[in-house]
Amino acid sequence: MPHRVFYMARTPPDHRAVTLSVQPPEFADSWLESDDPAELRAQLAAADFIVTGAITAEQIALAERVRLIQMPGVGYERIDVAAAEARGIPVAITPEGTCAGVAEHTVMMMLALYKHLTEAHTALKQGEWLHNRLRPICLMLEGKRVGIVGLGRIGREVAARLRGWGVELVYCDLRRLPPEQEVALGVRYLPLDELLATADIVTLHVFLAEGSRHLIGARELALMKPSAVLINTARGEVVDEAALYAALAERRIQAAGLDVFAVEPVAAGHPLLALDNVLLTPHMATANRDAMIAKARACYENFQRVLRGAPPINVVRPYGVVAADAAAG
């Protein structure tokens, strides 16, 4: 009998098709089809493996057969890892696809903001030719200092992609890298306050935990240069959105690129939507076909490891507990 994989989210058919295009024959898929609690209970009870970004202790208690909970990404703050651990169920993340996708999106946001891409595109479609009007305000990445906050998997991928752009790379992390790794990555360590005060671009790549909630607030934004740009492709709550809105509205920093928000989807009346110096995307840094396939393959490979009696890879521990495969980012 095939091993049952429960995808614990309402998922459109085209999304399912991409995932199932790489499903090995020894697995059978099941998907959450409704908001009926009875359906969810039945699905959990029948699952051998669960793919989800959010599951509570009460839901984990219903999954009597489950052998692994797989997060199809890296941000596992909505999974009750402690409850799973208490039941002897490992929780694993999926860096495959995620890290490259977020890194590409991060660099794209930097370039789009520096080149005023959305402004130029919109104006041209409306019949305006902004060639000379944009010349005094567009910038190049070359020669700029980029500060990476959180040099885990994603932060390192961002650093790798920026090395060819002629930027100066500085970073801050809870754990400083050994000197030889800093040299290999082409990065230099700075304390957070110094990084914020001197960087032309600040990009955030930290997990959401109590220590990183509102890591960037009014005090931190006040340290940044008026010409600075902030990029957040990590988690919305890493930034105090009210403080960021004030800093942008008052032009105390130049611009921000945000792919994540404290509450998602973003409400139509959200204040940030009214600003002209923000670039906003709908949490789509890894929302691409290539990343979906990479993640699906990684999930199935981890399930196969468990079936062989091997330990799954990229297992995480509850937040605040150090784990070898759960570095920031």
pLDDT tens, N- to C-terminus, the chain (329 residues): 899 999 999 999 999 999 999 999 999 999 999 999 999 999 999 999 999 999 999 999 999 999 999 999 988 989 999 999 999 999 999 999 899 999 999 999 999 999 999 999 999 999 999 999 999 999 999 999 999 999 999 999 999 999 999 999 999 999 999 999 999 999 999 999 999 999 999 999 998 888 899 999 999 999 999 999 999 999 999 999 999 999 999 999 999 999 999 999 999 999 999 999 999 999 999 989 999 999 999 999 999 999 999 999 999 988 544 333 333 33
For residues 69 and 52, is the Cβ–Cβ distance under 8 A? yes
**Strand, coil or helix: what is 256?**
strand
Residue among 244, 290, 252 at smallest CA distance from 270: 244
**pLDDT at position 326, please?**
33
DSSP class of 37 = H
Q: Which residues are catalytic?
A: 235, 264, 283
Report all structural domains of the chain as residue ranges with CATH numbers, in order of start: 3-97+288-307 (3.40.50.720), 99-280 (3.40.50.720)
Taking each helix axis from N to C terminus, what angle separates 98-114 and 289-307, rounded to the nearest 10 degrees?
A: 160
**Distance from the first to the final alpha carbon of the chain:** 38
Give the residue from 50, 57, 49 showing the smallest Cα distance to 79: 57
In this prediction, residue 235 carries a pLDDT of 95
pLDDT at position 209? 81
Nearest CA to 104 among 241, 229, 291, 307?
291
Q: Read off the tokens for 146.
A: 């980029």
Question: Which pair of tokens denotes residue 196?
Answer: 């914020």
CA–CA distance, 170 with 159 (Å, rounded to integer): 9
Write out the two tokens for 314. Answer: 């990229």
Has this prediction a pTM greater than 0.85?
yes
- The two three-digit tokens of residue 92, written as one number: 């694993």
Query: Per the structure block, which two tokens stand in for 170?
Result: 């500085």
Strands (E), 103-183: 145-149, 168-172
CA-to-CA separations, 4 to 19, 188, 312, in angstroms, rounded = 15, 47, 17
In 3D space, the residue among 211, 172, 181, 205 whose CA is nearest the CA of residue 321 turns out to be 211
Tokens of 244: 């960021």
Query: According to the model, what pLDDT value does residue 319 have?
Result: 58
Provide the 10 A C-beta neighbour count for residue 261: 20
- Cα–Cα distance measured from residue 173 to residue 231, given in angstroms and rounded to the nearest whole number: 16
The pLDDT value recorded for residue 207 is 87
User: Under 8 Å CB-to-CB from 230, ≥6 apart: which residues?
Assistant: 201, 202, 203, 204, 216, 221, 224, 239, 244, 253, 255, 256, 257
Sheet strand arrangement including 91-92: 27-31, 3-7, 49-51, 68-70, 91-92
pLDDT at site 208 = 86
Could you give the CA distance from residue 264 to residue 236 in angstroms, rounded to a whole number?
A: 9
